Structure 1
Amino acid sequence: MSKKVQIAFIIDDDEVYIYAIRRLIKIQNLCDEILVFTDGQQAVDYLSEHKDDISRLPDVIMIDVNMPILDGWGFIDEFQKMNITETKPMKLFMISSSIDSRDVKKAKEIAIIEKYIFKPITFEELKEVFS
């Protein structure tokens, strides 16, 4: 079995989704620590502040497409500029209610995105994210 995820990011502005996904992650003991950001800029700021401390960087990032301030695409642009994955490997998943085929296509074209998952995420998909 693979090593348990230490830190996961949830970057999403949907409070109901955040509550539900955090609860499911905790119940299933999939992760030690969950950090929640309600827009991409908060997550970029956190990563910028902690980029030199591998122990504070996430193993998994789950990000929504549509959010205020800095959306999922903006976060990915900033994330790629940081080159943090050279320091620590991370898995990034877009988890969104957007069924816009342009979003799905764009996600497939960005190498660092493991998978585009439609909300609501199923338990099987969640297990895949944390495997």
Structure 2
Amino acid sequence: MLDQILCVDDDPITLMLCKKVITKASFSNEIITSQNGEEALNFFNKLKGTNSECELIKHPQLIFLDLNMPVMGGWEFLDIFNTDDYSEFNTIKVIVLSSTIDPEDLEKAKSYSMVIDFLSKPITISMLEYLKSKI
């Protein structure tokens, strides 16, 4: 079981479903949500501000990331999160969870080393079982 997961999606119903399915599957102890990439980056910026050598705050081990969101989408989030500014979080794995099945999106996702899979919404218990073997 993971300690903490971050779900980034602009749809409140998707976020609620993610929480329910992840909880039911006993996949994570804690589920944090953000409604877009900018909110997610702000979350990590706060963690950067509180992490010192003597005070380590836990951070998510996995991010479920939607691609199409207002304010800042998933691609923009990945472009920024993949920079040296966020290198302390480079062990976090990302699952793109999107309603798109565009082959170009699938290929683009492979260009980010932190993205370990590209799955179609909605999240399911069988998906989480599959991911347990990958993580």
TM-score interval w.r.t. the shorter chain?
A: 0.7 to 0.9
Contact 1:7 1:35 in 2 (8 A): yes
> Under a length normalisation based on structure 2, what TM-score does the superposition of the two structures give?
0.85
Q: Which runs of 5+ in 2 are unaligned?
A: none
Q: Which residue of 1 aligns with 2:89?
A: 85
Per-residue Cα deviation, 1:52-102 (whole angstroms, up to 9, x for no partner): 26433101100001001110011111111211235xx21111000011221
Count of residues in correspondence between the two structures: 126
- Contact kept in structure 1, 2:27 and 2:128, CA below 8 Å: no
SS of 2:57 mapped into structure 1: helix
- Give the match for residue 120 of structure 1: 122
| SS at structure 2 position matched to 1:56 | coil
Which residue of 2 is the match for residue 14 of structure 1?
Answer: 11
Which residue of structure 2 lines up, in the alignment, with residue 35 of structure 1? 32
Report the TM-score when normalising by structure 1. 0.87
Please tell me whether residue 24 in structure 1 is matched to residue 21 in structure 2.
Answer: yes
Question: Once superposed, what is the RMSD of the aligned Cα atoms?
Answer: 1.6
User: Structure 2 CA distance, aligned partners of 1:54 and 1:99?
Assistant: 38
Q: Which runs of 5+ in 1 are unaligned?
A: none
One-letter amino acid matched to 1:92 = V
Tell me, yes or no, if the aligned pair for 1:10 and 1:63 is still in contact at 8 Å. yes
Distance apart, 1:119 and its partner CA: 1.2
Aligned equivalent of 1:109: 111
Letter of the 1:57 counterpart = H
